[in-house]
Structure 1
Amino acid sequence: MVPSAVTRWPPRGSPATETGSSASEAGSAQKVGASKMATCAGDPFMMDLRELAATSDSGGSVPTAIDGKAAPAVDVTRHNFEVMLPIVRRYLEACDFFAFDCEMTGLFLEGQNHNYLDDMEERYARIARAAQSFVINQFGLSCFQRQEEPGPDGETQYLAATFNFYLFPRSARGPAYVASRRFMCDAESLSFLASQGFDFNRCIYDGVPFIPVKQRDEMLRQLDRDTNTVLGAGEGPRNHVELTKPEDQMFVQELVESVRDWLASGTTDPLDLPAVNGYLRLLTYQALARPEHFGGPPENGAPDWHPGFVVKKVNDERNCTRVRLVRCALVTEASALDAADREERRRAVMAAAGFAAVWEAIRECGRPGVGHNCLFDVAYSIAQFGEGQLPRTWDGFKHVTAHWFRGGLFDTKHICRQLPDLLGSETSLATMFSSLVPQDFGPTGSGERRGDERV
């Protein structure tokens, strides 16, 4: 049964609703048939208009009530992403289902178009190769909540919140290093986006960065390993390396002497040790964790003794890993510096991951997902926001899809095939849209129409 009334949120005119005019609007609330705008004052699904509008980076007046017209989606860029993220999470948690749609830089690799004689393994293999080559540059998301009160004519009403995320795979330096991404573009796909008013400058300059959730989690685990290595080197057989080679012994001796000289100088400037390979860096951590190298603690014990520095792992301008020593005199000061450093690096990783947080929220909400002819959308999204690499087989792909869409995945193109009396044999998105959505329902329409008599 097609829902018979939909309200798009936020209302038209809100500063947060910078018009997203690209084709990703196809993934918005307008995919669903509507006859009247829902009245939603006081509904817990809706946040205060001013609160939502304040998250936008554009100006304009803020309405205080539904004005009876459908609203454009909220555009999300890297400038308002941090503020919008908890709002998007809130809507995902409160919705009954969500719809999504992606825009990509291409669909088919050269010579890899679909063949009608393909079996699913062959077709999936082509899509998987494309998903690793092209990128998503916009992600449209609509969260729908069924309203308890029916409309004036007894029709079912849904409230919808729609967001357009501009995306761009950004490189990152420092503690959350992300290499520059190389991706392919298809001329026809870019021409189509341009014809729909897609803003390429905004995508490149303002797009939200993204890496897969799995890559982000591995970076966070590496952060934990780095912290444990710095704090625990030399404390057990797992980390301990016996210095049997003369060159290793000389390296440690020179290292300890340089640190002692730095401590004796009384300077407050940090000491950046030379960039070395991973093995010598382990020897460095091990030597720095040996109290006897730096004059303590005394034999009778001193629980508040500290060597006078804390150890940090940093990346220089060439992204070479270095060990930095920062002066501090107290154990409490050292703990505070360690915690601040760890939090700084964690925040850098989360910032580099960007849209991965939204994709994770989609999984965690456990709500049904809805798309139209969405195999490409799903494959690209799982590859670029979730897994990093797609499974080699169709069965494996179905398994990871179930992992990311815990509430199930519904493709309206396939649903249309089950409703031939409603839509006939044509199942394109344009036909669905014209059949189910009133002609006057849009950013400039009144949204007034009786329920579709054919349902």
Structure 2
Amino acid sequence: MEGHGASVFPSAEFVQEVTKDNFAEVLPTLRAAVAEADYVAIDGEFTGLFAGRATKGHSLDSLAARHAKVLKSAKSFCIIQYGVATFKLDPATGRYAVSAWAFYVFPRTGDGGSWDALQTMQAESINFLADNGFDFNKAFIGGIGYLTPEQEAIKAKRIASEGESREPIVLKPETLIKMNALIAAVRAWLDEAEQPATVAGEDSGAGDPGSSDKPLYSLSTAEALHYEYFDTLPASGFIRRLIHQEIEAAFGDDVATESLQVEGAPHWRKYVRITRSDAEAKAAAAAARAQAARDKLEAAIGFRHVLDAIRDAKVPLVGHNLTYDLAYTMAQFYGLRTESVAEYKAALRDTFGPIYDTKLIASKAPAVKPLVTSTALSELVAQLGDLAKQRASFGAGFDASPVRSGAGGAEFHDAGFDALVTGMAFALMTSMSASASVEDVTASSSSFDALAATVSPWRNKINVMRCAVPWLDLDGPFEPVPNNVFELAGLTASVRIKQLREAVAPHSIGGHKWLDDERVLVQLSPAEGHSLYDAVRHMYTVANAPFTHVAHVNLGEERATFTSIYTPAGAAEASRKRKRRDADANADEGAAKKQKGLCLVM
């Protein structure tokens, strides 16, 4: 990785792809790497970003409004590839040992899988991924399933209840006759000293095994080959429960029963196998079933094991422009969908260790900001690779874990690769911030904690693009909050932003956001040599103002708050005149259309 320019990028071969087929094998390695890491970088690839035009960001969004938009998207879309990269610094050499993975993620349905989730896709996002070589087959076919903690608890409770005794079912007379016949056949089978007298034969497929016209087992001395077990015919879940109940009651510890799936048949087509047993063997079998159920639950938790490992280690978490990555992670894998910004912030603090957003650091850190012209991830890493000199070297092969075969070169928009270069960017920026100058990088022997301390002002601050508040502060109040945002109300449908700009001149309106036909938010900028107070006073004196009411807006609260300021002089009367004029114009237009229609009829 030594060198400059494009050579700063690692090969994508240093990212290991993980699907459900090799997840169990990779998980212990990842857990060990996370436990030893100084920090972990993440990235996600999504099935969509905007659940409609109304969810796109706006420069005058409050944090509450932006959170509501992102939350709506998080409820609609999902992460289908999750990148994780671990970084461990050797203070003696200044080299980082790096491991990176790209996990394909998709909810698995069926026995032991995820809930049957409704997933939405945005065409623009899917086309973007396709254009960048995303392998959808690996996501949809090989994607790793997952459970949220709530879903895990429901499954665990269900598993625990399977071992509990239930109220016995009273048999109907016709079912009792068949059950007695089955018990007699099992007793005869148990009495055979050397070979069985009866076994289950082929299922004729006629009718329900629980119905009065079909037995629960088949006698076939030609197939009397199994001394150790006695199989019933396939039956419904209710009939199988009756068989378990009655056979256990009749024979106690002498037999054991279990439901098995018919080979090659759907998962619901099962039969009961009765085996010779004793108390010790039954206890061992019960313990084995309980362990198998726990193993099945652990497998169903799936990809969330990766996030739980990061959570438990409380290792610093690094990402680039993390707003959507974190919101989707919390909604999809932890079931957090709170509309409260305060509750969301608390959940992030409770779930993860310190969080760093490399896009925010690149745009704010004094040692980095003057030297980069773009904070887009690919361009940022290229620039940092040129600027950080010695720290552009992470050691041969990054000391990386097993690699992905058949890949090469820089492959952005692969979640594993993006996580890898995001972690690189963080390492480079902390080194630059720790150095007296970029030309004299002397921080190679520093500990990671010392390096991280140099970017502590941006710890737990999440970059928020195109928003009135540029970041979400997980630890403190909503700062910085713009104080030059006002609501202009009482507008008529004919008023356009051009007229508002003319009304406030020589001062100016920057960003604006229509709330409805009669209200608009504006960002008021005073003319050179004037204060914001001057600009506000000017609005008060506007003759025939196109607005009747002005309110100062605080966008930094949990909900935007409005403070009434005044009604501009003469504005109310001017508004009434405009409304009368608009009404008269609409009436004249309607009459003209009606007259035209009459002419056409004639």
Which of 101, 116, 123 is the aligned partner of 1:163? 101
Task: Name the counterpart of 2:25.
Answer: 83
Structure with the greater alpha carbon radius of gyration: 2
Could you tell me how far 1:141 is from its partner in structure 2?
0.7
Q: C-alpha distance in 2, partners of 1:219/1:437?
A: 48
Task: Name the counterpart of 1:185.
Answer: 121
Bigger shift: 75-84 or 325-334? 325-334
Task: Name the counterpart of 1:115.
Answer: 58
Alpha-carbon distance change, 287 to 158 in structure 1, aligned in 2, over 3 angstroms: same
Task: Name the counterpart of 2:147.
Answer: 211
Task: Name the counterpart of 2:377.
Answer: 429
The 3-state SS of whatever aligns with 1:168 is coil
Letter in structure 1 aligned against 2:230: D
Task: Name the counterpart of 2:413.
Answer: none
Q: C-alpha distance in 1, partners of 2:347/2:243?
A: 41
Task: Name the counterpart of 2:256.
Answer: 309
Whether contact under 8 Å (1:255, 1:284) holds in the other structure is: no
Q: C-alpha distance in 2, partners of 1:416/1:254?
A: 79
Alpha-carbon distance change, 141 to 258 in structure 1, aligned in 2, over 3 angstroms: farther
Task: Name the counterpart of 1:330.
Answer: 278
Whether contact under 8 Å (2:49, 2:77) holds in the other structure is: yes
Letter in structure 1 aligned against 2:376: S
Gaps of 5+ in 2: 190-198, 200-228, 398-407, 411-423, 442-602
Could you tell me how far 1:209 is from its partner in structure 2?
2.6
Alpha-carbon distance change, 393 to 344 in structure 1, aligned in 2, over 3 angstroms: same
Whether contact under 8 Å (1:252, 1:283) holds in the other structure is: no
Q: C-alpha distance in 1, partners of 2:323/2:342?
A: 14
Q: Deviations over 1:123-162 (max 9, x none)?
A: 2222222222212111111101110313xxxxx3322111
Task: Name the counterpart of 1:270.
Answer: 231
Letter in structure 2 aligned against 1:113: K
Whether contact under 8 Å (1:170, 1:181) holds in the other structure is: no
Letter in structure 1 aligned against 2:34: L
Could you tell me how far 1:271 is from its partner in structure 2?
3.9
Letter in structure 2 aligned against 1:414: L
Q: Deviations over 1:340-367 (max 9, x none)?
A: 3333333333333321221221212221
The 3-state SS of whatever aligns with 1:206 is coil
Does residue 294 of the first structure (1) align with residue 250 of the second (2)? yes
The 3-state SS of whatever aligns with 1:132 is helix
Alpha-carbon distance change, 167 to 70 in structure 1, aligned in 2, over 3 angstroms: closer
Task: Name the counterpart of 1:414.
Answer: 360
Query: Could you state the TM-score of these two structures normalised by the residue count of structure 1?
Result: 0.66
Q: Deviations over 1:36-67 (max 9, x none)?
A: 99xxxxxxxxxxxxxxxxxxxxxxxxxxxxxx
Q: C-alpha distance in 1, partners of 2:262/2:315?
A: 41
Query: Could you state the TM-score of these two structures normalised by the residue count of structure 2?
Result: 0.51
Could you tell me how far 1:216 is from its partner in structure 2?
3.0
Whether contact under 8 Å (2:243, 2:272) holds in the other structure is: no
Gaps of 5+ in 1: 1-5, 8-32, 38-67, 151-155, 234-238, 297-305
Whether contact under 8 Å (1:213, 1:357) holds in the other structure is: no
Letter in structure 2 aligned against 1:103: E
Task: Name the counterpart of 1:355.
Answer: 303
The 3-state SS of whatever aligns with 1:146 is strand
Letter in structure 2 aligned against 1:85: L
Q: Deviations over 1:296-353 (max 9, x none)?
A: 6xxxxxxxxx152235598996665978453232122222322333333333333333
Whether contact under 8 Å (1:77, 1:206) holds in the other structure is: yes
Could you tell me how far 1:179 is from its partner in structure 2?
4.9
Does residue 106 of the first structure (1) align with residue 48 of the second (2)? yes
Could you tell me how far 1:94 is from its partner in structure 2?
0.8
Give the number of the structure whose residues are more often helix, by fraction.
2
Q: C-alpha distance in 1, partners of 2:285/2:277?
A: 11
Q: C-alpha distance in 2, partners of 1:261/1:178?
A: 42
The 3-state SS of whatever aligns with 2:141 is helix
Where relative contact order (Cα < 8 A, 6+ residues apart) is larger, the structure is 1
Whether contact under 8 Å (1:368, 1:408) holds in the other structure is: yes
Could you tell me how far 1:219 is from its partner in structure 2?
1.6
Q: C-alpha distance in 1, partners of 2:157/2:310?
A: 22
Q: Deviations over 1:360-397 (max 9, x none)?
A: 21212221111111121112122222x23422322222
Could you tell me how far 1:109 is from its partner in structure 2?
0.5
Q: C-alpha distance in 2, partners of 1:93/1:251?
A: 62
Whether contact under 8 Å (2:71, 2:327) holds in the other structure is: yes
Does residue 199 of the first structure (1) align with residue 135 of the second (2)? yes
Task: Name the counterpart of 2:183.
Answer: 260
Alpha-carbon distance change, 209 to 178 in structure 1, aligned in 2, over 3 angstroms: closer
Does residue 143 of the first structure (1) align with residue 86 of the second (2)? yes
The 3-state SS of whatever aligns with 2:126 is helix
Q: C-alpha distance in 1, partners of 2:336/2:262?
A: 27
The 3-state SS of whatever aligns with 2:292 is helix
Task: Name the counterpart of 1:131.
Answer: 74
Whether contact under 8 Å (2:43, 2:319) holds in the other structure is: yes
Task: Name the counterpart of 1:95.
Answer: 37
Q: Give % identity.
A: 25
Q: C-alpha distance in 2, partners of 1:254/1:420?
A: 86
Alpha-carbon distance change, 159 to 272 in structure 1, aligned in 2, over 3 angstroms: same
The 3-state SS of whatever aligns with 2:82 is strand
The 3-state SS of whatever aligns with 1:172 is coil
Q: C-alpha distance in 2, partners of 1:388/1:110?
A: 22
Does residue 393 of the first structure (1) align with residue 329 of the second (2)? no
Q: Deviations over 1:230-255 (max 9, x none)?
A: xxx2xxxxx557x8xxx777699568
Matched residue pairs, number?
Answer: 356
Alpha-carbon distance change, 101 to 178 in structure 1, aligned in 2, over 3 angstroms: closer
Alpha-carbon distance change, 369 to 326 in structure 1, aligned in 2, over 3 angstroms: farther
Letter in structure 2 aligned against 1:400: A
Letter in structure 2 aligned against 1:269: F
Task: Name the counterpart of 2:14.
Answer: 72
Q: C-alpha distance in 1, partners of 2:75/2:177?
A: 47
Task: Name the counterpart of 2:516.
Answer: none
